[in-house]
C-alpha cells in the first residue's frame, strides 16, 4: 500500500537509479488501393478489365468512383478517378501490416513519418502542416501542444479506409501544408458479423522487470478517475475566488493550511516500486448488421475496445547552459507509464438508390498514469557534487467525442454532399505532483526542507476543453458539353472554441523545518500533523497575471469553386480556387482581478486568403500517367503556440511557453509525378516536390533560471524540396505444387529524400514572447541561414517483404523503416540544434487463419523493433555531445487472436 512506503523505500529506489533499471482474408498489398492481383500473363491491354476493389471513402467533395476518367485501364479506381496525388489504405491493407492504430499504419506510406505519440509528419513537415479529418469533417485535438489529433488513439478496427492526399485541392481546408489525412469509419457492413478479439504483449525494457507506480485510485485500471483526484471543496472555493491563492488579504496562512490538508496525500504523492510489471493486454468487440427495408439498405456497426499497457523508460537527460556543451544538468530518469485506452463507436448507415447517409458517433479515451524517479546533479543551481533526487506523479485524461452526419446524394449528373459535425475534446490533469530532495552531507541523507535550493514540493491542476462545430455543403455537376467537364462548388464553416487553465502551487513552511522532518518521505512530509505543527501552507505560483488561463477561438468561413475537364484526349485539368476568411484569437483571463494588464492583451489574427490550385494529368498510356500540380495554402499558429502559458510536454520532457506574437505561415506548393501501374496491384511511381514557406513557425530552446524551456517564433522563410519513389511487385510461385502453389512473395518499397533550408537575411528580425510588447531580436540570433526545418528527415525508407496466400488468410511480413536525423528544437542561443535520431526499425508481422470448433480463428503475431534501436535526442557541437533525452526502446512482442461468429 502507498501509505506504508518509507523514505527507505525511496532511497532504495534512488539507489536503483544507479544500476541498470531493467535486469535485463486479406487483399494483396497496394499502398494506393490497387485492385486484387491477377495473372500477369492475362494483363494484355485487349483483356477485359477485372473488377476494381471497392473502397469506402467519405470526404468533402470526394467521389472516387464517379468522376471524369480517361483511359487508364490498369490504374486503380481511386487513383485514376481523382486528379490529385493520393494514397488510399483499405481496411485489408491496414490489417496486413498488423498495426493496431492509424499512426502505425501510416508509417508505411511514402513520405510519411510518425513523431512522438502518433503525430504524423508529411515529407518532413511538422504536425502543424498536416490536417486530420474524420469522414471529411475536422477534429479537435485533446493534446494542448498540438493542432491535430494524435492518430495513435484511433484503432484500425473502426476504419473502412484512410486517404492521404499530398496535393491541395480547393474542396479541402486551406490549412494544407504537407497533406490531409482523411479517416473514413465503417457504416454498413457487407455481411452480418460479431467478432471478439484479444491480445497480450510486452517489451524487453518493461515487461517482467521492475518499474514504478503510485496508488492513485482503485478505479485507475479503467482509465476513469474515481474521486481520489477530485479537487476538494476548500481548493475549489479558492480557485473561484478571483484572487491569487497566496498569503495576503484574501487568504490567511490558516486558510492556506486548510487547503493543503484537504488534498489527497499518500495516494498521489508516493512513488512505489513494482518488482514485475505485468504484460500488456487488450480486447475488442465488434458487431455489424445490415438489413433491407423496402428499397433502402440499412446498417449498424458497433465497436468497443480496451487496452492496458505499460512502458518504462530509463533515460539520460542532460543539458548545457553555456555555448560549450558540458552537462551542467545531468540526470538519470526512470519513468513508468501506464496507459489505458478505451474506444467505442456506433455507426448507422442507409443506402437508397444512389444515395448514402451515415451517422457516426465516436468516443476515444486515452489515460496516462505517470510515475518517475530521477537522480543526478545540477551545477547551475548548486555545487557539482550535490546529488538531487526528484519524484513526479501525474494522471492525464484525454477524451474525444465526435458526432457527425454525412449525406451523399446523387441525382443523375448532380452530386450533393451535406456534412454536419460536433466534436468535443477534453484534457484533465489533476494532481501533477513533484518533490525534490537534495543530499545533505551532515546527515548523509536526502532532505527536503521545502525552501532551499533543489528542495521543494509542488502540485498543479490543469484542464482543457475544446468544441468544434462544423458544417459543409458540396455540389458537383457534369455539364452536357462536347468534352467531359464537371464543375463543383461548396461552402464550409468551422467554429473552434477552447478554454484552458493551469494552476501551479508550491508548499512552503512558515519558518524552518528541522532535519528530522526534512528527511521524511513525501506523504509524511506533507502530513496533516506536519502542516499544522510547522505551519506549512500552499501558495500559488501560476506566473504572470492572466497566464494561468485563456480562452481561444478560430472561425473560418470558406467557399470554393473548381472545374475538371478532359481538354484533349487523355489530358485532364483540374483547377479551382478556395476563399477563406479566418478570425483567430487567444485571450488571457484575468483570474486574479489584477490591475496589471501587461499580459492580458489578447492576440487577434484576422486574415482572408485566395488559395488557387491546379493539377494537370496526362494519361499517355493505359498503365501510365504524369501529373503536375501547383497551389497556395496557409498554416495558422496553434492555440498553445499563441498562449503565454507554461506547460510540461510529457513526451519531450520539457516545458513549453507560447508566443502571442506569431503570425500565419503562407505556402507555395509544386509537384510533378510519374505513375506506372504495370500489373494489377503493382506499380512504380516517382515524384519531385517543392515548397516555399513564408514565416514558418519553428520551435526554439532557451534557458531561463537554469531550466530548458521551448517556445515558438516565426523564421523569415524556408524552402523544402525533394523526391520520392514507390514500388510494389508480386512474385507468384507459378507452376509449383503443394504449399507454395497458392502463395506469392510481395515486395513493397518506398524512399523519400527531402531537403529544407531556412533563409535568414542580415536585416531579418523575429519577435520573442518576452515583455508586454514582445522582444524584437535579430533572426540570426536563433536561426542559422540554411538550417533544416524542425521535424524534417532527409531520408525516409520503408520496405515490406512478405509471403502470402492468395486463397486464404496466411501472411508473414518483414517491415523495415528508417528515418534519418531531424531537428526537434532549435538550440538555445549560441548552441547547436537539438537533434533526434529515429534510426532503423525492423518489424515482423504474421497473420494466420485456423479452423477451430467450426469457427475461423485469426491469429496475429508481432515482433516490433527487432534490432533494438534506441531513442536518442542530443546536441553535438562537433567536439562534445550531450544527451537531451535518450533511452532504450527494447523489442516488443505481441500475440493476438480474433474469432467471428
DSSP string of 814-878, one letter each residue: EEEEEE--EEEEBPSTTSPPEEEE-EEEEEEEEEEEEEETTEEEEEEEEEE-TT-PPEEEEEE-S
Task: Give the confidence band of 595 by pLDDT, cuts at 50, 70, 90.
Answer: low
659 pLDDT above the threshold of 70 = yes
pLDDT at 40: 35
Task: Please give the pLDDT value at position 592.
Answer: 81
Q: Name the residue with higher pLDDT: 577 or 16.
A: 577
Q: What's residue 277's pLDDT? A: 95
Is the predicted pLDDT of residue 893 greater than 80, yes or no?
Answer: yes
Phi then psi dihedrals of residue 259, to 5 deg = -65, -45
Q: What is the pLDDT of residue 4?
A: 33
Strand 130-134 versus strand 179-185 pairing type: parallel
Q: Are strands 654-657 and 646-649 parallel, antiparallel or unpaired?
A: antiparallel
The answer to whether 282 and 307 are in contact (CB under 8 A) is yes
The yes-or-no verdict on residue 199 having pLDDT over 70 is yes
Q: Region 142-164: what's the mean pLDDT?
A: 66
CA 885 – CA 793 distance, rounded (Å): 19
The pTM assigned to this predicted structure is 0.86
pLDDT at position 132: 78
Lowest mean pLDDT: which of 65-69, 134-138, 209-213, 252-256?
65-69
Task: Give the closest residue to 875 by CA, choosing from 290, 85, 196, 328.
Answer: 328
Is there a contact between 616 and 631 (Cβ–Cβ < 8 Å)?
Answer: no
Greatest mean pLDDT among 112-121, 470-479, 764-773, 843-852 lies in 470-479
Q: Across 49-58, 143-152, 465-474, which has the greatest mean pLDDT?
A: 465-474
CA atoms of 570 and 73, how far apart (whole Å) = 12
- Burial of residue 458 (CB within 10 Å: 0-12, 13-18, 19+) is middle
Average pLDDT over residues 344-353: 92
More confident residue, 758 or 155: 758
Mean pLDDT over residues 235-247, rounded?
A: 91
CA distance 99 to 156: 8
Q: Is the pLDDT of residue 826 over 60?
A: yes
Q: How far is CA 172 from CA 112, 181, 886, in A?
A: 19, 11, 39
How many other β-carbons are positioned within 10 Å of the β-carbon of residue 872? 18
Closest by Cα among 321, 356, 434, 474 to 830: 321
Mean pLDDT of the chain: 84
* 3-state class (DSSP) for residue 254: helix
- 3-state secondary structure (DSSP) of residue 421: strand
Q: 377-386: list long-range contacts, CB under 8 Å, 24+ apart.
A: 377/329, 377/330, 377/331, 378/328, 378/329, 378/330, 378/454, 378/706, 379/328, 379/329, 380/321, 380/328, 380/329, 380/706, 381/453, 381/454, 381/706, 382/438, 382/453, 382/454, 386/438, 386/439, 386/454
Of the listed ranges 78-87, 275-284, 511-520, the least confidently predicted one is 78-87
Q: What pLDDT score does 36 carry? A: 36
Please answer whether residues 126 and 147 qualify as being in contact, where contact means their C-beta atoms are separated by less than 8 angstroms.
Answer: no
Residues 6+ positions from 638 with CB-CB distance below 8 Å: 128, 145, 146, 147
Give per-residue pLDDT as tens, 358-382: 999 989 898 999 999 999 999 988 8
Q: How far apart are CA 780 and CA 761, in angstroms?
A: 8
Mean pLDDT, residues 473-482 taken together = 94
Q: Cα 130 from chain centroid?
A: 11
**600 vs 894, more confident:** 894
pLDDT at 34 over 70: no
Q: How large is the greatest C-alpha to C-alpha distance in the chain, in angstroms?
A: 95
pLDDT of residue 404 exceeding 80: yes
Cell of 191: 455481411
**What pLDDT was estimated at residue 109?**
66
Looking at the chain, the whole-number percentage of residues with pLDDT higher than 70 is 82
Helix (H, G, I), strand (E, B) or coil at 92: helix
Least confidently predicted of 156-160, 217-221, 267-271, 401-405 = 156-160
Q: How far is CA 812 from CA 89, 96, 377, 473, in A?
A: 19, 9, 48, 44
Residue 180's pLDDT band (cuts 50, 70, 90) = confident
Adjacent-strand bridge partners of 864? 892
Least confident window among 114-123, 154-163, 386-395, 890-899? 114-123
Q: What is the DSSP letter of 115?
A: E
Tell me which of 21-25, 299-303, 484-488, 708-712 is least confident.
Answer: 21-25
The predicted model gives 659-685 an average pLDDT of: 91
pLDDT in tens, 439-451: 999 999 999 999 9
Residue 45 in this model has a pLDDT that exceeds 60: no
Residue pLDDT, tens place only, 408-443: 999 999 999 999 999 998 999 999 999 999 999 999
Q: What burial class does residue 616 get, using C-beta atoms within 10 Å of its C-beta: 0-12 exposed, 13-18 middle, 19+ buried? A: middle
Place of cell 478489365: 49
pLDDT of residue 322: 83
* Range of weakest confidence among 230-239, 665-674, 707-716: 707-716
CA 234 to chain CA centroid, Å, is 37
d(CA 743, CA 809): 11
In this model, does residue 96 exceed pLDDT 80? no
pLDDT at 189 over 60: yes
Q: Is pLDDT at 304 greater than 50 in this prediction?
A: yes
Amino acid at each position: 500500500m502507498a501509505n506504508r512506503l518509507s523514505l527507505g523505500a525511496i532511497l532504495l529506489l534512488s539507489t536503483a537509479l544507479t544500476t541498470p533499471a531493467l535486469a535485463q482474408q486479406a487483399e494483396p498489398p497496394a499502398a494506393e488501393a490497387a485492385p486484387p492481383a491477377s495473372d500477369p500473363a492475362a494483363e494484355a491491354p485487349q483483356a477485359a478489365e477485372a473488377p476494381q476493389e471497392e473502397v469506402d471513402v467519405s470526404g468533402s467533395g470526394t467521389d472516387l468512383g464517379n468522376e471524369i476518367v480517361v483511359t487508364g485501364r490498369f490504374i486503380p479506381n481511386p487513383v485514376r478517378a481523382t486528379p490529385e496525388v493520393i494514397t488510399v489504405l483499405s481496411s485489408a491493407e491496414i490489417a496486413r501490416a498488423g498495426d493496431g492504430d492509424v499512426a502505425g499504419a501510416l508509417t508505411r506510406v511514402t513520405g510519411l513519418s510518425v513523431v512522438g505519440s502518433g503525430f504524423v509528419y508529411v515529407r518532413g513537415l511538422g504536425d502543424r502542416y498536416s490536417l486530420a479529418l474524420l469522414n471529411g469533417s475536422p477534429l479537435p485535438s485533446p493534446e494542448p501542444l498540438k493542432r491535430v489529433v494524435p492518430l495513435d488513439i484511433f484503432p484500425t478496427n473502426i476504419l473502412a479506409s484512410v486517404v492521404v492526399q499530398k496535393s491541395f485541392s480547393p474542396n479541402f481546408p486551406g490549412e494544407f501544408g504537407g497533406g490531409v489525412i482523411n479517416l473514413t469509419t465503417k457504416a454498413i457492413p457487407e455481411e452480418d458479423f460479431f467478432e471478439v478479439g484479444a491480445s497480450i504483449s510486452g517489451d524487453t525494457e518493461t515487461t517482467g522487470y521492475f518499474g514504478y507506480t503510485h496508488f492513485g485510485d482503485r478505479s485507475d485500471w479503467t482509465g476513469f478517475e474515481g474521486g481520489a483526484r477530485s479537487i476538494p471543496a476548500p481548493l475549489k472555493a479558492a480557485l473561484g475566488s478571483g484572487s491569487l491563492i497566496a498569503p495576503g488579504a484574501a487568504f490567511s496562512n490558516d486558510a492556506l493550511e486548510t487547503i493543503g490538508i484537504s488534498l489527497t496525500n499518500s495516494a498521489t504523492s508516493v512513488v512505489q516500486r513494482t518488482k514485475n510489471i505485468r504484460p500488456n493486454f487488450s480486447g475488442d468487440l465488434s458487431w455489424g448488421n445490415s438489413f433491407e427495408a423496402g428499397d433502402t439498405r440499412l446498417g449498424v456497426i458497433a465497436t468497443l475496445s480496451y487496452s492496458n499497457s505499460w512502458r518504462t523508460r530509463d533515460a539520460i537527460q542532460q543539458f548545457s547552459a553555456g555555448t560549450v556543451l558540458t552537462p551542467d544538468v545531468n540526470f538519470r530518469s526512470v519513468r513508468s507509464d501506464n496507459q489505458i485506452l478505451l474506444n467505442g463507436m456506433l455507426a448507422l448507415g442507409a443506402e437508397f438508390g444512389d444515395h448514402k447517409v451515415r451517422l457516426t458517433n465516436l468516443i476515444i479515451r486515452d489515460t496516462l498514469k505517470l510515475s518517475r524517479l530521477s537522480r543526478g546533479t545540477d551545477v547551475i543551481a548548486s555545487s557539482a557534487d550535490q546529488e538531487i533526487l526528484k519524484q513526479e506523479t501525474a494522471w492525464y485524461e484525454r477524451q474525444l467525442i465526435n458526432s457527425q452526419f454525412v449525406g451523399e446524394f446523387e441525382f443523375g449528373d448532380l452530386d450533393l454532399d451535406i456534412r454536419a459535425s460536433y466534436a468535443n475534446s477534453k484534457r484533465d490533469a489533476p494532481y501533477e505532483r513533484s518533490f525534490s530532495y537534495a543530499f545533505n552531507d551532515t546527515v548523509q541523507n536526502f532532505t527536503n526542507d521545502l525552501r532551499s535550493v533543489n528542495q521543494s514540493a509542488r502540485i498543479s491542476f490543469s484542464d482543457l476543453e475544446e468544441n468544434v462545430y462544423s458544417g459543409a455543403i458540396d455540389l458537383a455537376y457534369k455539364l452536357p458539353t462536347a468534352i467531359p467537364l464537371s464543375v463543383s462548388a461548396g461552402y464550409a464553416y468551422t467554429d473552434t472554441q477552447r478554454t484552458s487553465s493551469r494552476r501551479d502551487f508550491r508548499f512552503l513552511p512558515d519558518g524552518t523545518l528541522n532535519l528530522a522532518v526534512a528527511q521524511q518521505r513525501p506523504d509524511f512530509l506533507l502530513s496533516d500533523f506536519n502542516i499544522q505543527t510547522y505551519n506549512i501552507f500552499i501558495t500559488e505560483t501560476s506566473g504572470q497575471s492572466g497566464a494561468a488561463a485563456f480562452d481561444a477561438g478560430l472561425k473560418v468561413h470558406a467557399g470554393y469553386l473548381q472545374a475538371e475537364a478532359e481538354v484533349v484526349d487523355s489530358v485532364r485539368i483540374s483547377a479551382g480556387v478556395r476563399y477563406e476568411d479566418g478570425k483567430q484569437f487567444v485571450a488571457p483571463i484575468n483570474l486574479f482581478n489584477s490591475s496589471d494588464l501587461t499580459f492580458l492583451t489578447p492576440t487577434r489574427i484576422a486574415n482572408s486568403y485566395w488559395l488557387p490550385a491546379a493539377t494537370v494529368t496526362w494519361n499517355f498510356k493505359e498503365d501510365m500517367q504524369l501529373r503536375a500540380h501547383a497551389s497556395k495554402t496557409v498554416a495558422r499558429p496553434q492555440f498553445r503556440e499563441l498562449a503565454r502559458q507554461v506547460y510540461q510536454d510529457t513526451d519531450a520532457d520539457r516545458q513549453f511557453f507560447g508566443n502571442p506574437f506569431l503570425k500565419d505561415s503562407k505556402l507555395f506548393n509544386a509537384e510533378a509525378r510519374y505513375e506506372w501501374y504495370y500489373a494489377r496491384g503493382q506499380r512504380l511511381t516517382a515524384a519531385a516536390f517543392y515548397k516555399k514557406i513564408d514565416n514558418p513557425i519553428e520551435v526554439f530552446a532557451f534557458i531561463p533560471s537554469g531550466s530548458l524551456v521551448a517556445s515558438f517564433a516565426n523564421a523569415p522563410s524556408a524552402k523544402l524540396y525533394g523526391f520520392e519513389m514507390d514500388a510494389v511487385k508480386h512474385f507468384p510461385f507459378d507452376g509449383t505444387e503443394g504449399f507454395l502453389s497458392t502463395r506469392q512473395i510481395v515486395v513493397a518499397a518506398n524512399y523519400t529524400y527531402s531537403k529544407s533550408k531556412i533563409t535568414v537575411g542580415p536585416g531579418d528580425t523575429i519577435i520573442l514572447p518576452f515583455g508586454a510588447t514582445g522582444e524584437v531580436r535579430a533572426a540570426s540570433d536563433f536561426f542559422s541561414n540554411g538550417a533544416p526545418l524542425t521535424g524534417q528527415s532527409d531520408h525516409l525508407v520503408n520496405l515490406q517483404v512478405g509471403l502470402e496466400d492468395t486463397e486464404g488468410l496466411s501472411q508473414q511480413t518483414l517491415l523495415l523503416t528508417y528515418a534519418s536525423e531531424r531537428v526537434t528544437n532549435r538550440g538555445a542561443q549560441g548552441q547547436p540544434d537539438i537533434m533526434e535520431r529515429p534510426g532503423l526499425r525492423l518489424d515482423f508481422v504474421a497473420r494466420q487463419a485456423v479452423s477451430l470448433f467450426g469457427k475461423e480463428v485469426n491469429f496475429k503475431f508481432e515482433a516490433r523493433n527487432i534490432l533494438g534501436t534506441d531513442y536518442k535526442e542530443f546536441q553535438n557541437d562537433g567536439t562534445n555531445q550531450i544527451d537531451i533525452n535518450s533511452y532504450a526502446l527494447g523489442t516488443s512482442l505481441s500475440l493476438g487472436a480474433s474469432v467471428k461468429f
